Amino acid sequence: MDALRIEALVKDYGPVRALRGIDLQVRPGEIFGFLGPNGAGKSTAIRIVVDVIRATAGHVEVFGVDAQRRSVEARRRMGYLPSDPAFPAAMTAHEVFEYFSAIRRETPDPAYLHGLIERLRLDTSRKVGALSRGNRQKVGLVLALMHRAPLIILDEPTTGLDPLIQEEVELILREVAAEGRTVFFSSHILAEVESVCSRASIVRDGMIVDVFDLAEQRRLAPRIVEVEFTAPPPAEAFASLPSGVRLTRRDGVRVAFETGDGIDGLVKEIARFEVADLSVRQPSLEELFIDYYRGEEQP
């Protein structure tokens, strides 16, 4: 059974189609990244899963429970952090935790709750209305995590947090997954997704353009070969490259190629000229991602 299953999800706001048929399956125990730029439809899809907005068409299940028809039951299985969260300003963070626990009728494990508060360095005695954006984010994170729900849904979880706390959040998410619970989080920070997630999807213009396994992606990703020659190669050089090799940049003595399985042919082609420097690397997720957003096909 999937932790989260989204099928043919469509959302219209009047004449504007915000989601254009999203399909997604998130397996139990994985950390799944939901990548996309602002306005791509990430928060809209998440809000439909949480049932604070309603789908125009499509179906959402959380651990087999219909998240629209049996939304209370589905939400019982979720911990949720909204994008830019806010809480009753007159309450302290401590009171916020008590308030939402009372609404859920669930008492969090005091040791676990205390641990989260300590690790995120949150002062729970201050009124929420006086907290900075980052500290409100911490309150939201604790709230999403403290009941140890089987599915944790986080909309841009590290926004406003300093780098040390961001690292701590990543560590906490790994621990959540190690306990067999599932994390589904949206982000536009690619490095974050790359370092934490086991799988990720890319959403653009209300559609999923790819779902990929990050380890597999790294294995299959093309190599980027960057060469610096001692003198600019002649204009006709590299006009015909071996199969599977693509010239991506040419700037005087510097030339860059992208190759999947044509590395041997490329090395021989490069060796026709005197080489000053050469590097071979895999593209970062950011480079792959930017290609998607430029509307190019994944190589």
Buried residues in 19-44 as b, exposed as e (16+ CB within 10 A): beebebebeebbbbbbbbeeebbbbb
Binding flag, residue 89, other proteins (CB under 8 A): yes
- Categorise residue 14: left if φ over 0, alpha if ψ from -120 to 50, beta otherwise: left
Give min distance, CB of 181 to other proteins, in A: 16
Each residue 118-147 as x (binds other proteins by CB under 8 A) or -, in order, gives ----------------------x--x----
Binding flag, residue 17, other proteins (CB under 8 A): no
Binding flag, residue 184, other proteins (CB under 8 A): no
Binding flag, residue 247, other proteins (CB under 8 A): no
Cβ proximity to other proteins, 128 vs 190, nearer residue: 128
Q: Which of 8, 13, 220, 286 binds other proteins (CB under 8 A)?
A: 13
Binding flag, residue 293, other proteins (CB under 8 A): no
Binding flag, residue 102, other proteins (CB under 8 A): yes
Question: Is 271 exposed, middle or buried (CB count within 10 Å of its CB: 0-12, 13-18, 19+)?
Answer: exposed
Binding flag, residue 19, other proteins (CB under 8 A): no
User: How far is residue 214 from each of residues 166, 205, 210, 261, measured CA to CA in Å?
Assistant: 20, 22, 12, 19
Give min distance, CB of 118 to other proteins, in A: 22
Cβ proximity to other proteins, 46 vs 161, nearer residue: 46
Give min distance, CB of 82 to other proteins, in A: 5
DSSP 270: H
- Name every residue whose Cβ is closer than 8 Å to that of residue 274 and which is 6 or more positions away in sequence: 229, 230, 231
Q: Token pair 């302290």 is at which residue?
A: 92
Each residue 186-205 as x (binds other proteins by CB under 8 A) or -, in order, gives --------------------
Binding flag, residue 68, other proteins (CB under 8 A): yes
Q: Rounded to whole angstroms, how far apart are CA atoms 277 and 227? A: 6
Binding flag, residue 57, other proteins (CB under 8 A): no
Binding flag, residue 159, other proteins (CB under 8 A): no
Q: Which of 78, 113, 116, 146 binds other proteins (CB under 8 A)?
A: 78
* Contact (CB, 8 A) for 160 and 134: yes
Question: Is 46 exposed, middle or buried (CB count within 10 Å of its CB: 0-12, 13-18, 19+)?
Answer: buried
Cβ proximity to other proteins, 7 vs 213, nearer residue: 7
Q: How many CB atoms lie within 10 A of CB 169?
A: 23
Q: Rounded to whole angstroms, how far apart are CA atoms 158 and 93? A: 18
Residues that bind other proteins (CB under 8 A): 13-14, 47, 50-54, 68-73, 75-76, 78, 80, 82, 84-90, 99-100, 102-104, 140, 143
